[in-house]
């Protein structure tokens, strides 16, 4: 017969397992990563993740049952957000642990970047210093709602879909530093490739806004001046 202590221990670990079960799907991890950028509607999340609205809703329901995300309804639209800042910290820790322990991640990154022309490694610490000093033009190529939720101070909001039409407003005399959602987001990679094809000197900042904040730097919110 199980003792009271044993029943207590098993009950506690059963609760812990609710988190791991909710995050056992790669798609849910991607949705959680998107929500780290800021609140999004189900439709917006579905579009970014390449899923149907129905499938996205199912994944979000699993995350909500584990109390990792929250939902609010305005009219016909349901908007999801992280339930707590600790959820974002947890996701960052998970990513960091995976990078340290799974060599397959580095292999996947190298294989992907090897096929992209001109995306040689850049000293990220030096790049961060230049961005902080305003010595370069920081370009936030995420969707506008993510920019409004939080961005690097002084960064220009130029979503990737609008970049080609707005090239004439960007100076070629300064280096352009494109950033998006972190090291595994391809928006900034595509932006750098486009800018370089048009004769701009452009590089990619691997840090996300969350990484920027985690370094102790100030994050701006709202529309750009």
Tens digit of pLDDT for each residue in 17-32? 999 999 999 999 999 9
pLDDT, position 75:
85
SS (H, E, C) the chain: CCCHHHHHHHHHHHHHHHHHHHCCCHHHHHHHHHHHCCCEEHHHHHHHHCCCHHHHHHHHHHHHHCCCEEEEEECCEEEEEECCHHHHHHHHHHHHHHHHHCHHHHHHHHHHHHCCCCCCCCCHHHHHHHHHHCCCEEEECCCHHHHHHCECCCCEECCHHHHHHHHHHCCCCCCEEEECCCCCCCHHHHHHHHHHHCCCCEEECCCCHHHHHHCCCCCECCCCC
- Segment 112-151, tens digit of pLDDT: 887 776 576 678 888 889 998 889 999 999 999 999 999 9
Distance between CA atoms of residues 125 and 159, nearest Å: 24
> CB of 140 within 8 A of CB of 205?
no
At the second CATH level, the architecture of 4-87 is Orthogonal Bundle (1.10)
Q: What is the pLDDT of residue 149?
A: 94
| pLDDT above 70 (res 159) | yes
**Tens-place pLDDT, residues 33-50:** 999 999 999 999 999 999
CB 25 within 8 A of CB 56: no
Interstrand relation of 77-82 and 69-74 (parallel, antiparallel or unpaired): antiparallel
- The pLDDT > 90 percentage for the chain reads 84
Does this chain's domain 4-87 share its CATH topology with 120-214?
Answer: no
pLDDT value for 60: 98
Known catalytic residues are 180
CA distance 187 to 167: 16
Q: Which residues contact 72 (CB under 8 A, 6 or more apart)?
A: 78, 79, 81
pLDDT 10s digits, 194-210 = 999 999 999 999 999 99
Q: What is the CATH number of domain 120-214?
A: 3.40.250.10
User: What are the boundaries of each domain within the chain?
Assistant: 4-87, 120-214
187's tokens: 């928006």
> Across residues 59-78, what is the average pLDDT?
95
Say what the pLDDT of residue 40 is.
95
């Amino acid at each position: 017969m199980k003792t009271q202590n044993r029943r207590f221990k098993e009950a506690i670990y059963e609760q812990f397992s609710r988190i791991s079960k909710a995050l056992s799907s790669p798609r849910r991890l991607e949705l959680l990563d998107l929500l780290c950028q800021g609140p999004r509607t189900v439709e917006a999340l579905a579009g970014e993740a390449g899923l149907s609205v129905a499938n996205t809703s199912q994944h979000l329901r699993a995350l909500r049952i584990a109390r990792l995300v929250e939902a609010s309804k305005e009219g016909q639209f349901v908007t999801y957000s992280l339930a707590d800042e600790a959820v974002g910290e947890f996701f960052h820790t998970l990513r960091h642990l995976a990078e340290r322990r799974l060599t397959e991640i580095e292999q996947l990154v190298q294989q992907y970047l090897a096929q992209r022309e001109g995306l040689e490694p850049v000293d990220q610490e030096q790049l961060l210093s230049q961005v902080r000093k305003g010595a370069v033009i920081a370009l936030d190529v995420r969707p506008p709602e993510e920019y409004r939720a939080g961005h690097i101070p002084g960064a220009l909001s130029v979503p990737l879909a609008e970049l080609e039409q707005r090239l004439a407003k960007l100076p070629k005399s300064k280096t352009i530093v494109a950033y998006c959602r972190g090291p595994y987001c391809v928006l900034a990679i595509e932006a750098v490739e486009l800018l370089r094809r048009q004769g701009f000197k452009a590089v990619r900042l691997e840090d996300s806004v969350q990484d920027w904040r985690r370094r102790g730097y100030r994050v701006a919110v709202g529309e750009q001046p």
